[in-house]
Structure 1
Amino acid sequence: MYLKLIHYSLFCDLALLLDAFGQSFLQPDISVFRQNLESLENLNAKLKLYHKKIFQDMMLSPFLNVLLQVLLHKSHDLLQEDICVTVYNMAAVNFEGFYATFLPQFLASSEGLDANQRTILECNFKHDQDLPSFSSTLHRFITDMRYYRLCNSALPEGSAQAMTTSHGLEQWNQIVTNSAIYKQYWLQMG
């Protein structure tokens, strides 16, 4: 019984510590963010934190959510690569769970997207398991998500509904394809 009490106490202490880390990632101070991101990665390197059941069950999803939101909002853009490495390290513990569970839940809870855009984003997120490919896919995912939100915010009220038909989806995909072609063209010309 005494051993269970000690175990429970350690569990509570770890939960409080991880919660404090999570709260610090919501602060605008980039130096605190960097320091805590490094500390979290050090804990993982030394203690395999991301592999611990408590982290997997209770903290993984909130941490991934916060880190992806930071990438989406560009609030700590100077740390973009460090954040991508941390997201990779968290996802690498269970890639199957990341792709099958976390990613769909993240997209379902994301505002500013319609159902078709969520599906496209999920389908375009390649199931890479090496850091460079995962990082590249994550960057594209974040960029595409920002783009969809920007396009949706620029549409007149109610017009986003027209995009949910199959004809509307075809038009939307053509717009996106043409936008990418034109963007590439202008980058080459500029």
Structure 2
Amino acid sequence: MGTELINTILQTTFSAFNIENVQNVLRESKKNDHPAISRFLEFLSLLVNEPGNSKLTQQFLPTIIELCTTALYPAIRENCALDIRENYYKLVYNLLVNNWRYFFKGNVLTTLNGEIETTANEQSFIQLMESIAWSFSQADIEQFRANLTSCNELQLKCGLYTKLIFRQQMSQALLSLLLSVLLARSHELCRDDIISTLFYILTNDNTNNFAYFIHNYLDQSNIQTILNDKHKRLLTETYGRNETDLPSFTQNLNDFIHDYRHYTTTNSS
């Protein structure tokens, strides 16, 4: 099948599944049309997986990203029960991992030489990552675990946690969200995955560490209402150390969580 024919087919497909049409379908209470959207997302995942980032993929990449950020993610936020959620997040992961240079223009040598890496399409990258981070505030355990795995895969393959844009604009909010989930014990089945993710984020950021993060976390206004200054100081002094291996980090964090919950219970009574 020639490139021109494929291009024509894709143009026709995107005309049918344009932003407005997708938004309208997802707003409908009828679920009969949702499988069509879900299959379309599976098709897009295959497209963005195109080996070598073909020109055809690059041509449609902005359209796919706009569809994700303007139609799909807002619809999922509005209705958490939408059955397209799993395929949406698979698409976002495949889009990022296979088209990393669409957002980051540097290469391995750039990083090794300490050169500043050029970031492109920043807003699109932030919006896609925000959609992943949002899933960590939801009750869906399987999607939570899958997206944690995706983040760690992006670190392993692309160095996500080392990127300046991640460290400056996403890291602190994501760390705080994940720690809050641990403290609430709402996703205990993902406990080990959450702790290892916290460890990987902190150990790949030379401008941050556990002691600094814990100090800032305990200084948040919502924490100040449930912990007194004495208990905050005790937690910081006892557990504000920077463990360099995962087992030690895990033990330290688990002990912190235990004492934090004990102090909050004491204060509330």
TM-score under structure 1 length normalisation: 0.74
Shift of 1:26: 0.6
Q: How does 1:40-189 map to 2 (within 5 A)?
A: 40-94=151-205, 97-109=208-220, 110=223, 111-125=225-239, 126-154=241-269
| Equivalent residue number for residue 131 of structure 2 | 20
Aligned Cα root-mean-square deviation (Å): 1.7
For the 8 Å contact 2:133–2:174, the answer to whether it is kept is: yes
Gaps of 5+ in 1: 1-5, 155-190
Q: In 2 relative to 1, CA 8–41 (structure 1 residues): closer, same or farther, beyond 3 Å?
A: closer
Structure 2 CA distance, aligned partners of 1:95 and 1:78?
30
Structure 1 CA distance, aligned partners of 2:194 and 2:210?
18
- Cα distance per residue 1:74-129 (max 9 Å; x no partner): 11001100100000001102366224532211011124111111111011113211
Shift of 1:11: 1.0
Shift of 1:10: 1.8
Structure 1 CA distance, aligned partners of 2:203 and 2:263?
27
Return 94-103 or 39-48, whichever deviates more. Answer: 94-103
| Equivalent residue number for residue 166 of structure 1 | none
Q: In 2 relative to 1, CA 11–96 (structure 1 residues): closer, same or farther, beyond 3 Å?
A: closer
Q: Number of paired residues?
A: 149
Q: In 2 relative to 1, CA 132–8 (structure 1 residues): closer, same or farther, beyond 3 Å?
A: closer
Q: In 2 relative to 1, CA 19–130 (structure 1 residues): closer, same or farther, beyond 3 Å?
A: same
**Greater fraction of residues in helix:** 1
- Cα distance per residue 1:34-64 (max 9 Å; x no partner): 1111111111111110000000000000000
Q: In 2 relative to 1, CA 100–71 (structure 1 residues): closer, same or farther, beyond 3 Å?
A: closer
2:121 equivalent to 1:10: yes
The percent of aligned pairs where both chains have the same amino acid is: 33
For the 8 Å contact 2:161–2:205, the answer to whether it is kept is: no
TM-score under structure 2 length normalisation: 0.53
Question: 4+ residue stretches of structure 1 with deviation over 6 A?
Answer: none
